[in-house]
Amino acid sequence: MLLAGALAQLRADGPYESVTASATWQDNVTNSAANDGIKGDLGLDTRSDLTWIRSLDFSTLLTFTLSSDLSLSTNYSGLDNLGVGPAIEFRRKLGVGPFAPALYARLEGLAVGFQDPERSNISGALAFGYQQRLTDTLLVGVDARVGSYDARDIVFTGDYASVASRLCWDMSEVWRLKLSAGWRTGDGVSNFTAYKGPYGWAPVDEGADNLPGAWHYVSTFRQPYVAYLVSARTWSYGFGISPAVGRHTALSLDFAHTDSQAGLSYIDNIISLSVVHQF
């Protein structure tokens, strides 16, 4: 009997499935500096997660998630991509009761194929996080991670570290208000309008020549652009509201503002509308 009970406790439950569909507007999808080729884009995204959960003891959970993500651009087909990857998470609750904090460590992997093949990459990240319900209506969380991605072209390859925080306020059984702030340091890609000179493609903004990293011509945005690998520090903030529309379904309307500094300034505003359903 004791052996049967132990085996039952170790057996993983699942899979639990959730599906997210979203529409996202970015006013600077090219990640360009001001007056140097900024373009906006509306993207459509659908994501599916399958999760298995194993209880290691009263306070500890081990979860395995397999995710797939399809993203389509309404303006630039080269940005269309399909990603698939696993994640494994170790989570421990420090204490008992609804207000006890929880800590987690998560290892993530992802393979992404783009319509523009040089952007296709394999990435990995190690994340550590903290979550706690402060009151019956307030939930706080912090996520810190380091990651790396290796693309077919060096321009789209890099490393990064980031910290993200969020505060959720359950105003009622239906409505949730969300506030977020974040910081990131590491590699990224900026795209500048370009012209073809005697020595090949070059950015219109001569100051871009002072940016570190590799660069080359890209045709993603239907006119001449030069893509640069830049090292930047990014600050971000955002807010959102999420009403429940059923027992297992919620809508989410979110806004985020990012400001990256890498010699020049790159600013992006992102608005997204999502629906999440858990089966």
CATH of the domain at 165: 2.40.160.40
Q: Is there a domain that residue 256 lies in?
A: yes
Residue 195 lies in a domain: no
Query: Beta strand 81-93 with 102-114: parallel, antiparallel or unpaired?
Result: antiparallel
Q: State which of 27-41, 136-150, 219-233 shows the largest mean pLDDT.
A: 136-150
pLDDT in tens, 125-167: 999 999 999 999 999 999 999 999 999 999 999 999 999 999 9
Pair of tokens at residue 118: 């040089």
pLDDT in tens, 163-187: 999 999 999 999 999 999 999 999 9
- Asked if 83 and 69 count as a contact pair (C-beta separation under 8 A), the reply is yes
In-domain check, residue 253: yes
DSSP, res 99 = T
- DSSP state string for the chain: -HHHHHHHHHSPEEEEEEEEEEEEEES-TT-PPTTS----EEEEEEEEEEEEEEEEETTEEEEEEEEEEEEEESS-GGG-EEEEEEEEEEEEE-SSSTT--EEEEEEEEEEEEESSGGG-EEEEEEEEEEEEE-SSSEEEEEEEEEEEEEESSGGG-EEEEEEEEEEEEE-SSSEEEEEEEEEEEEEEEEEEEEEEETTEEEESSGGGGGS-S-EEEE-TTSS-EEEEEEEEEEEEEEEEEEEB-SSSEEEEEEEEEEEEEESEEEEEEEEEEEEEEE-
The pair of structure tokens assigned to 59 is 């306070």
- R_g (Cα) of the chain, nearest Å: 21
Give the pLDDT confidence of 71-90 residue by residue, as tens digits: 999 999 999 999 999 999 99
SS3 9: helix
The sign of the dihedral angle between the CA atoms of 37, 253, 130, 84 is negative
C-alpha distance from residue 97 to each of 101, 103, 242 (Å): 9, 15, 25
Look up the domain containing 47 and give its range: 13-30+41-187+238-273
The whole-number average pLDDT for the span 179-203 is: 87
Is there a cis peptide before residue 224, judged by omega within 30 degrees of 0? no
Q: Is residue 158 part of a domain?
A: yes
Q: How many domains does the chain have?
A: 1
Could you give the CA distance from residue 106 to residue 62 in angstroms, rounded to a whole number? 10
Is position 203 within any domain?
no
Residue 6: how many other CB atoms lie within 10 Å: 10
Q: Model's pTM, two decimal places?
A: 0.89
Q: Would you say residue 204 lies in a domain?
A: no
176: in domain: yes
Max CA separation in the chain (angstroms): 82
Is position 194 within any domain? Answer: no
Per-residue confidence (pLDDT) for residue 207, from 0 to 100? 66
